[in-house]
Structure 1
Amino acid sequence: MTAAYVSLISAISRLLGLVAMCLTGSAALVVTHMVIVRYFLNGSTVWQTEYVIYSLVAATFLGSPYVLLHKGHVNVDLLQLQASPGLRRLMQTVSGLVGVAFCALLAWSGWLYLHEAWVYDWTTDSVARIPLWIPLFPLPLGIGVLVLQYLAEIIKIYGGVE
């Protein structure tokens, strides 16, 4: 059961990592398009800046579980490397549980904000007037999966599951 959970969450984290990569790549293409339209064709851009901002923020939130899966977050492990295996396991567990608590709170508040944007039909202040729930959605989704990935990492510490 725990191996299936770890495998499923790892697959979801990889999928979100792929989505984050596509969002980052598309943002780069849109910036290129924006530069060509503005400076070479003397045209105006309406949606490009907003798309780039929201896609890069979405890539950050959606890609965070993938980064945790591959141990890519900033980690000060000087004490852990010097600790005994039992103490190291305890330190990793405590830091994982702190990560779960913080991210669960962030995901919950993100869902509340998303819900308000949906119910009250909030839009962005730009000319495009994008429904605000669209750019808000990656926050609770990505951070919610990050919580699940933290739990999978804790399971890996004790279960020997990879």
Structure 2
Amino acid sequence: MTQTPSRNWAKRALRLVDRLASTITAVSAFLLLAMTLIITYEVGSRYFFGRPTIWAWDVNVQLMMALIMLGIGDVYRRGQHIRVDVFTAALSPRKRAFLDLMIAPLILFVAVLIIWTGWNYFHRSFVRDQHASTLFAPPLWPVKFLIPVCGALLSLQVLTKAASDLHTALKGTPE
């Protein structure tokens, strides 16, 4: 059976979003490694040489925020977010997909709210050239920029999961 061009386009779009999510997951893993190395360096500097850094705390806080924000879409994509499994575990894949479709607009609303408020939060920080109130004082707008970006990534994940759930709800089998 041949697929229509619109169906092929949709599958390519879904694969592209999945590749983007996988890339972001790899970036998150790199950020976690960077945090580990920075903490190790800070501990060595502080306790072995008596020379603590002025930058390790600030950099790690920003890396942690990036790690959290970048992980939101991937957690949703993998279905590892908090939910009441006791209710959904007994459902068939078709009924679970239908339930997920009913909840998707609410999650999409939250994602759009994250984009909207995150953009305002970032923009205010950027215009004011806001810096952390520490000795190192890094700019705060780069990490705040990740809020609307990751809200957009969450939106993409919600839409791609909804497309997959729609297929499952209509056909009875996961795509």
Structure 2: which amino acid aligns with 1:151?
L
The number of residues matched between the two structures is 162
1:100/1:150 contact within 8 Å kept? yes
Q: Distance in 1 between matches of 2:29 and 2:121?
A: 25
Partner of 1:16: 24
Partner of 1:113: 121
- Tell me, yes or no, if structure 1 residue 41 matches structure 2 residue 49: yes
- Stretch moving more, 73-82 or 16-25: 73-82
Alignment gaps of 5+ in structure 1: none
Deviation at residue 113 of structure 1 after TM alignment: 0.8
Q: Distance in 2 between matches of 1:87 and 1:66?
A: 23
Which one of 55, 59, 62 corresponds to residue 54 of structure 1?
62
1:114/1:137 contact within 8 Å kept? yes
In terms of Rg, which structure is larger? 2
Counterparts of residues 1-162 of structure 1 (less than 5 Å): 1-83=9-91, 87-159=95-167, 162=175
Partner of 2:171: none
Q: Which has the higher contact order (CA 8 A, sep 6+)?
A: 1
Do the aligned partners of residues 68 and 123 (structure 1) sit closer, same or farther apart at CA in structure 2, a change above 3 Å counting?
same
Structure 1: which amino acid aligns with 2:46?
R
Considering only aligned residues, what root-mean-square deviation do their CA atoms show, in Å? 1.8
Percent of pairs identical after alignment? 24
Q: Distance in 1 between matches of 2:75 and 2:91?
A: 25
- Stretch moving more, 70-79 or 110-119: 70-79
- Stretch moving more, 120-129 or 32-41: 120-129
Q: Distance in 2 between matches of 1:17 and 1:62?
A: 8
Deviation at residue 71 of structure 1 after TM alignment: 2.0
